[in-house]
Amino acid sequence: MTADHDDGPKDGNDDRSDDANGAATRARTSRATKKTRAAKKSRTAKKASEKPRRRERDGDGDSNGDTPSKDGGDDVPADDLPTIEIPPTGVIDLPIGANAIDLSRLFDSPQRPATDDTDQAPLADDEMIVVAVHGMVLFPGVVLPVVVSREKSILALQAAMRSDRPIGLLLQREADIDAPSPADLYHVGTTASIVRYVTTPDGAHHVIVQGQKRFRATKFVRSEPYFVCKVELLEERALPKGRGKAKAEKSLEARVMHLKFQASEALSLLPETPEELLGAIQESGSPSALTDLIATFMELPNEEKQQILETAELIPRMELVSAKLAHLIEVLSLSKELRVKTRGTMEKAQREYFLREQLKTIQAELGEDAAPELQELSEAIGAAGLPADIEKEVRKELARLERMPEQAAEYGMLRNYLETVVELPWSKLSTDRIDLKRAKRILDEDHYGLEKVKRRILEFLAVRKLKPDGKSPILCLVGPPGVGKTSLGRSVARAMGREFVRISLGGVHDESEIRGHRRTYVGAMPGSIVQGMRRAGKANPVFMLDEMDKLGQSFQGDPSSALLEVLDPEQNKTFKDHYLGVPFDLSRVMFIATANVLDQIPGPLRDRCEVIELNSYTEQEKLEIAKRYLIDRQRSENGLTLKQFKLDDAALLEIVRHHTAEAGCRNLERKIGAVARWVATRIAGNERRSMTVRKSDVTEILGPRRFEDERRLRTAVPGVATGLAWTPFGGDILFIETTLMPGKGEIVLTGQLGDVMKESARAAVSLVKSRAVALGLDEKPFEDKDLHIHLPAGAIPKDGPSAGVTLFTALVSLLTKRRIDPELAMTGEISLRGLVLPVGGIKEKVIAAHRAGIRRILLPKANAKDELDIPASTRRDLELIYVEKVDDVLEQAFALPSKKPAAKKSAKKRASKKRASKKRTSKKRAGTKPGRTSTAK
C-alpha cells in the first residue's frame, strides 16, 4: 500500500458517503480556488463552487466542435467551461482519494492531431463516451486528479461535460501504445463523474474525476473523434433474504473486519504510517467501498488491479484483495526486518565514521596524516588513462579505502589492488618500428636458418605497416627442445621495438593462475596474464606463452579453457581477470606460444593459433650456430677473450658428431661450455696464456666418445634392419633385431613396445607367412620355432605406426639369411596386401638419418611431397628412394651385396695382370744386355 496518498474515499458506494465525499470535494476545491486567487491577483478566475453557466447552443455551433446533449438541450462551449487557474506545481488540496501523479503519461501522445470538431449524433441511454488510460485503474467511489494531453481524450472530456453525462475509463493493455484501438483496451472499466475541469497557465488540462460504477463495454459504436461504446453496468448481487440473511451478514461482517485488520497491519509496517488513510479505512462502512479503497492504494501491477476491478461479485473480490494483502504483509515484514538491520548497521557505520574523523584530526595534529599517500594514489588513477567506466569503479574502491582504518585486514589488500590497477598499461603503447630490412637483419643476426618463421614475422610487419589497427596474430612455434623457440620471441620483440614478457605454462593446473583469484581473502592476487602485462609496462608487448603443451588440469579448473579467452582475437579485447573485476584489453598484444608436441595442445586452444613448425637442426646448421653464437657466448660467460680461446672446425665437428645427439643445440652449448671452462682453468693457473682446442684435445677434455657408429656392427648379421623414428625431441634411428629359436611358433616382443607397434609386428609376421613360397621359404616357417623381435634401449617406450616396413625387412633377412645394406634406413607402414603406406615426421627422420651417417633411405611413395621440407644440404648427401610395395623394399634392401661389383673388380684385376705381362714380354724382346738382366734379377 502506498503512503503517498494523504486522503482516500470514505464510503464510496452508499448514498451518504457519496454526499459526504462530494461535499468534501467542493470544500477543498473552493479552498484551492481562494489560494490561487491570492497568489495571482493579476488574473481573474471563477469561483470553484460556482455552477457552470449554460447557454443555448446556436444553430451553427462553434469552432470547438461542441457535441449536442442527448435530449437536445443546452451545451457548454469549450471557452465557457468552468476553469480554475492554478500554479504549475499542480492541484492544491485535492479531494479525498486524489493521487498526486503527473498523469500526462496516462493520456500522453507525442503529437496532438489537428482535429476539427463536428456535430455528433446524440448518445443513446446505453451508450457512453470512453477515455483510454494507462498507468492507473479507477475504482468506484475513488476521486483522482488526471492531467490530460491527448487530443482525443480532451474532446471526450469536453463532450461529456457539455452533455452532463458520466464518462467511462478503460485501461490500455499495452502502456506504450499512443493511439490505442478498441482491441487494445480492456472491456471492463469504471464510470466516472467529472468533478472539476481545470486549465493551467502552461496549457495543460486537469480534470478531477470520481469513480461511480463498474461497466462492461459490449460494443464500440465509433472511434473518432473519441471512443463511444455501448455499455452494461455491473451490479453487485444482494444478500440473500430469509434465514440465510443473518448468516450472510455475519460472514460479510467478519470479512470486513479481517480486511480492516490486514490493512491496518500493512500500514503499520510502513516506515511512516499514513494516519488519514488509516482513519478512512476504519471509518468505511460499505464492504464494497472498503474493498475498492484498499485495492486503490495497494502497490499492485495495473493488470492485477484490473483483475480486481473485473471481479464484480463482492465476496470473491474481498477474498482476492485479502490474498493480495496477505502477500503484501509478508513482503513488508521482511522489508521491516531488513530496515531494522540496516539501521543498526548504519548507526554503527556513523559511529565509526565519527571516530575515524576524530582520528584523522589527531593524526593531522601529530603530523601523521596518511592523506598524502591516498592523494598520490588518486592522482595516479587520474594519470593511468583508465576508461571512464573502469575509472568510476576504481574511484569507488578508493573512496572505500579512505573510509577504512589502516588497521583493518582489508586495508592492505584494497591498497594493493588499487596499486595494481594504476600500474597496468591501460593506454601506454610502444611505437612499432616498421622497417622490414632492419627486422630481417635482426632476425638473421639472432638466428641461423628458420626461414619459414622469419618469413611469417616479416609478413606480419608488412601487414601492420599497411594496416596499423589490424589484429595481432597468435603464433604457435612447435618443435623439439633447443631449436630456439623462446629466443626467437625475444628477437621478434627486438625487431618490432616492443617489450618482451614471458610466462611458463608448464605444470599450471589451476584456472586462477591464468584468471587470477577473486578478492575474497587477503592472499588474493592477479593471474599470470595480468602480472605479465604489469611487468611489460606497455599495452602491446610481445607476450610468450611457453610450454603450452604441458598445461595440467585438476579439480581447481582447466587452465586451457581460461586461455581460450586470452587467445581469441574476438574475445580478448574484454579479458576479465577475477582479481581486477574489470575488463582489460589484450587485443593489441602479440602472443607467441611454444610447444614441443602439437598433439598435446587441447584442440580448441590449438584452433586459435597459427602453427609454425621448427624442425631439428642438421649437422651443418649446428656447426654454423656454434661458430656464430655458441662459442662467443661461452667465451664471454667464462671470462675468456678471442685471443685466449679458440675452437677449430675439426674439434667442433668431433663434439657435434660423437658427444651430442639431439635435435637442438642445448647439449652442444653445454659441451662447448665445458671446453671453455677447461681452457679457463689452464689460463687461470698460468699453465697456458692461450689455447686453440683441436680434435685431439676433445677426448682429453670431454672423455671418450659417447655416440659411436654402430650401424655396421649391428647389421653385420642377417635379421637386423635400421629404422627411423620420430620423437618429441626430433628424429632418431632405431635397430630392429630378430632371431629364431626352437619352440612352438610363438612370437615374443620385447623393448617396451606400444600397442600400435605390436600390431605392426603381427602384421609383418602375417605378411611373411603369406609370401613364404614367393620368398623361397618353407610354407610354415614358424611352425616349430619361436620368433623373437627386440628393439634395443628397452628403458625407452616405443610406439607408432611407421615400423612395419622395417619389421618385415628384418624378418625376411632373418629367414633368407641375407644381410641388409648397413648404409640403408627405412620407414613406412605396411598393409596385408603388401602396400607401403605413408607416415609422418619425414623431415625429422631424414635429418636423424643424415646425422647418423646413413646414405640411402627408403620412403613411402606417398611421402614424396614431403621432400620439399628437407633442407637442401641434407638432400644433397642422401639418396631418397620411394617405394610403393614391399617387393620394392626387398629389392633395394638386398641390392648392394650382389655379385656384379665383385665380378667387375676381378675383371679389372685380370686386365691389369695382362697389361703387366705384355710389358714384361716387350722388355725381353727389346734387349739381352747382361747388366740389364742382372738388374732385373
Query: Is residue 660 pLDDT above 90, yes or no?
Result: no
Give the gyration radius of the chain's Cα atoms. 51
pLDDT of residue 314: 86
pLDDT digit string, tens, across residues 365-375: 766 555 577 77
Reduced to 3 states, what is the DSSP secondary structure of residue 18? Answer: helix
Most confident of 278-287, 610-619, 689-698: 689-698
Query: Is residue 933 pLDDT above 70, yes or no?
Result: no
pLDDT of residue 106: 41
Reduced to 3 states, what is the DSSP secondary structure of residue 800? Answer: coil
Mean per-residue pLDDT, 723-727:
85
- In CATH, the number for domain 123-233 is 2.30.130.40
Burial of 664 (0-12, 13-18, 19+ CB in 10 A): buried
pLDDT of residue 611: 87
* Average per-residue pLDDT for the chain: 77
Name the CA dihedral angle for 682, 683, 689, 693, rounded to a multiple of 10 degrees.
Answer: 50
Query: Is residue 63 pLDDT above 70, yes or no?
Result: no
Q: Is 636 annotated in the active site?
A: no
Sketch the domain layout of the chain as residue ranges.
123-233, 248-328, 378-423, 436-613, 619-702, 710-894
pLDDT of residue 900: 39
d(CA 524, CA 505): 20
d(CA 597, CA 773): 44
CATH of 710-894, one of 3.40.50.1000, 3.40.50.300, 3.60.15.30, 3.30.230.10: 3.30.230.10
Contact 690, 683 (CB under 8 A): yes
Query: Is residue 780 pLDDT above 80, yes or no?
Result: no
Lowest mean pLDDT among 266-275, 627-636, 693-702, 895-904: 895-904
Lowest mean pLDDT among 93-102, 278-287, 403-412, 553-562: 93-102
Query: Is residue 911 pLDDT above 60, yes or no?
Result: no
- Enter the pTM of the model: 0.52
d(CA 119, CA 65): 6
Reduced to 3 states, what is the DSSP secondary structure of residue 906? Answer: helix
Reduced to 3 states, what is the DSSP secondary structure of residue 170? Answer: strand
pLDDT digit string, tens, across residues 70-91: 333 333 333 433 333 333 333 3
d(CA 214, CA 237): 13
pLDDT of residue 931: 37
Q: Which one of 69, 512, 802, 813 is the catalytic residue?
A: 802
- Please determine, looking at this structure, whether the domain spanning 248-328 carries the CATH number 1.10.10: no
pLDDT digit string, tens, across residues 690-713: 899 998 899 888 888 887 665 555
Query: Is residue 725 pLDDT above 80, yes or no?
Result: yes
Which residues are annotated as part of the binding site? 479-486
Query: Is residue 160 pLDDT above 70, yes or no?
Result: yes
* C-alpha 344, offset from chain centre: 41
Q: Is 646 annotated in the active site?
A: no
Q: Please give the full DSSP string across 298-325, using - where no structure is assigned.
A: S---HHHHHHHHH--SHHHHHHHHHHHH
Q: Which one of 10, 454, 843, 845 is the catalytic residue?
A: 845
In the chain, the amino acid numbered 378 is S
- In CATH, the number for domain 619-702 is 1.10.8.60
For the beta sheet containing 610-613, the strands, ordered from the edge strand earlier in sequence to the opposite edge, are 500-504, 542-546, 590-595, 474-478, 610-613
Asked whether the CA dihedral 921, 925, 926, 932 is positive or negative, the reply is positive
Which residues are annotated as part of the binding site for ATP? 479-486
pLDDT of residue 481: 84
pLDDT digit string, tens, across residues 834-876: 999 999 888 888 888 887 788 899 999 999 998 888 888 788 8
- 826: confidence class by pLDDT, cuts 50, 70, 90: very high
Contact 148, 220 (CB under 8 A): no
Lowest mean pLDDT among 12-16, 347-351, 453-457: 12-16
d(CA 332, CA 175): 28
d(CA 283, CA 1): 18
Q: Please give the full DSSP string across 327-352, using - where no structure is assigned.
A: HHHHHHHHHHHHHHHHHHHHHHHHHH
Name the residue among 774, 773, 761 with its Cα closest to residue 801.
761
Mean per-residue pLDDT, 24-46:
39
pLDDT digit string, tens, across residues 456-499: 888 888 888 888 777 777 888 888 888 888 888 888 888 888 89
pLDDT of residue 44: 36
* C-alpha 809, offset from chain centre: 54
* Topology (CATH level 3) of domain 436-613: Rossmann fold (3.40.50)
**H or E element, residue 724:** strand 720-727
Distances (CA, A) of 850 to 116, 733, 824: 102, 10, 11
Contacts of 68 (CB under 8 A, 6+ apart): 57, 75, 119, 120, 122, 163
